[in-house]
Amino acid sequence: MREIFWAFLRLGLTSFGGPVAHLGYFRSDLVTRRGWVSDRDYTDLVALCQVLPGPASSQAGFGLGLRRAGLPGALAAFAAFTLPSALLMYLLAAGTQVLTGPLWSGALVGLQAVAVAVVAHAVIGMARTLTPDLQRLSIGVAALTAALLWPGGVTQLIVIAGGAALGTWWCVAAARSTLARHTAHALGATGSPDAARAPEGDLPLTDDRGRVTRRTGTASLTILGALLVAASLLGRSVGDSWLSLVAASLRAGSFVFGGGHVVLPLLHSEFVATGWVSEADFAAGYGVAQAMPGPLFSFAAYLGAIADVGPGGAAGATLALVAIFIPGFLLLLGALPFWALLRGSARGNAAVLGASAAVVGLLAAALAHLVTQAAGNGPWALAIALGCGLALYWRPPLWLVVLLAAAAGAALSLLGMH
C-alpha cells in the first residue's frame, strides 16, 4: 500500500499533458521500470478503459492499483494520483473568493480565453479521430444541433444514448475494422494466434489480489444503476442540499466518452445552466485546470468548492470530486469480468463509436458557449484565445500557455483595454 501510494503520488505531481500522456507515464514507471504488470496486461487494461465511459487514465491507475493490492490498492492509487491536482484546484477556488481588483479580473479574462483555445484544440483533434466518416460526422452534427437548440442535462443524456443507438446501425463496419486491427496488432506483438485470444478467467487482471469475479462485477453495475436512478430523482427534489451536488457530479461522471475534455459540457450543464456557478468562474477554473498535473476530473473539486449548492469549501470539493469518479470506477469493476465478451462484440464497439461521435457534437456546443462568453469580454479576449490556439499547435507546455494568457489578461486590464 505504501509503495502504491508513493508511486502514484509522484505521478500525480509530474504527469502533465492529459490522459494520453498519463498512460505513457504509467507504462514507463509502473510497467517498464517497476514491472507491476506485463505489457500485454497493461495494453489490455488500457483498451478496456478507453472503451468504457469515464476518465481513462484514472481508471487505468485504479486498475493497476487493483492488480497490485486488490481494492485497497486501487483506492490508494486513486487518492494519490488525484490529490495534487484536487488540492491545487481547491486552492484556486479559495482564491476566487478573496482576490479582487483589476489584475485578478484581467487574469480571469485571460484564463477564460485559454479555455476557449484548449477546447477548440480538443474539438478539432477529437473530430479527426472520432468522426472520420460520413456516418459518424452526421451523428456529431445532429448532436451539436440538438445541444444548441435544447440545452440541458436531459438533452445530453438523450444525445449520447441516441448516438450509441445510431452507432449500432451505422458504425458496424467501422467497428469490425477496428476489431480486425486490434487482432492483427495482438498477433504482431505476440506472433501467436493463441496469445491474441483472451484466456479464460477474469481479464485483464488475473492475479488473485486483483481478480474481479462476475458476482462482484454484477454487483458493481447494479450499484451504479441504483446511484444513477437516485441521482436523477434526487436532483429534482432536494433543492440546494449536498445531495444535489453529489447527484450532479454523478451524472456528469457517467457519460464521459472520448477523453477528459468531454466532461466540460456535462459539468457546464450541471453547474452553469442551473445557476450554481457563473460562466466566468467556470471558464476560468477550466483554463487553470489545463495547467495542472493529474486528472482533468479534478476540476470538479473547484466547482464543488464554489458552487451555490451543497456545503461549499473543502466539504463541497470532496463530495463533488469523489462523486464524479465513482461511476467510472464502478463501470471498470463491472466490465472486468466480461471484457473478453465485450472486446469481441462488433455491435458493442459500434455503439461506443456512435456515442463518441455524439460527444464531439456536445463538446462543440460547449465551445460555442465559451466563445460567446469570451466575446463578451471584448475583442482583446478573442485575440488572446486566438493566440493561445495558434501556440498550441507548437506543443508548448500547457502550463506555460495558461500562465502567459493570465498575464496577458492582467496586463491588458491595467492598460484599460478590456
pLDDT in tens, 234-247: 765 556 688 899 99
In a domain, 386, yes or no: yes
- Nine cell digits for residue 178: 477496428
* Mean pLDDT computed over 13-23: 74
> What pLDDT is recorded for position 344?
66
In a domain, 36, yes or no: no
- Nine cell digits for residue 376: 463578451
pLDDT in tens, 280-293: 889 888 888 877 88
In a domain, 324, yes or no: yes
Chain mean position to CA 237: 27
Q: Is the pLDDT of residue 202 over 70?
A: no
* Domain total in the chain: 1
Per the rule left: phi > 0, alpha: psi between -120 and 50, beta: everything else, 8 is alpha
> What pLDDT is recorded for position 79?
97
* Mean pLDDT computed over 409-414: 85
- Residue 29: band (very low, low, confident or very high) from pLDDT cuts 50, 70, 90: confident
Percent of the chain with pLDDT over 90: 31
In a domain, 202, yes or no: yes
* Mean pLDDT computed over 10-32: 80
pLDDT in tens, 313-353: 999 999 999 999 999 999 999 999 887 676 667 887 788 78
- Angle value at C-alpha 232, between 226 and 236, nearest 5 degrees: 140
- Nine cell digits for residue 254: 457517467
In a domain, 53, yes or no: no
User: How far is CA 227 from each of CA 66, 233, 235, 274, 324, rounded to the nearest angstrom?
Assistant: 22, 10, 12, 21, 12
In a domain, 78, yes or no: no
Expressed as residue numbers, the domain containing 372 is: 85-414
Q: How far apart are CA 263 and CA 47, in angstroms?
A: 20
Contact criterion met (CB below 8 Å) for 74 and 220: no
Q: Is the pLDDT of residue 185 over 60?
A: no
In a domain, 69, yes or no: no
In a domain, 206, yes or no: yes
303-312: string of b/e by CB count within 10 Å (b at 16+)?
bbbbbebbbb
- Highest average pLDDT, of 47-61, 70-84, 245-259, 368-382, comes from 70-84
